[in-house]
Amino acid sequence: MPQAEGLILPFDGNDKIRKDYLETIDFDGKPQLIAYSTDEFSAVCPFSGLPDIATVVIKYIPD
């Protein structure tokens, strides 16, 4: 069975986010919805070992 490999980043809540992993830029514009979508996401399912292929959509309003 295939094994997942690489960096594992568990989500333990907003207070545990590693801000040193994030790159930020200053935003001085008016509030607007930013949307990013990609269908180039793939991973190995930790339960079956089969490939998982998905579309990832990120939407946010910078402040």
Active site residue 20: no
- Nearest Cα neighbor of 4 from 40, 55, 52, 56 is 52
Q: Determine which one of 15, 26, 52, 63 is catalytic.
A: 52
Q: How far apart are CA 49 and CA 1, in angstroms?
A: 6
Active site residue 45: yes
Q: Determine which one of 15, 20, 26, 45 is catalytic.
A: 45
Q: How far apart are CA 14 and CA 33, in angstroms?
A: 21
Supply the residues annotated as catalytic: 45, 52
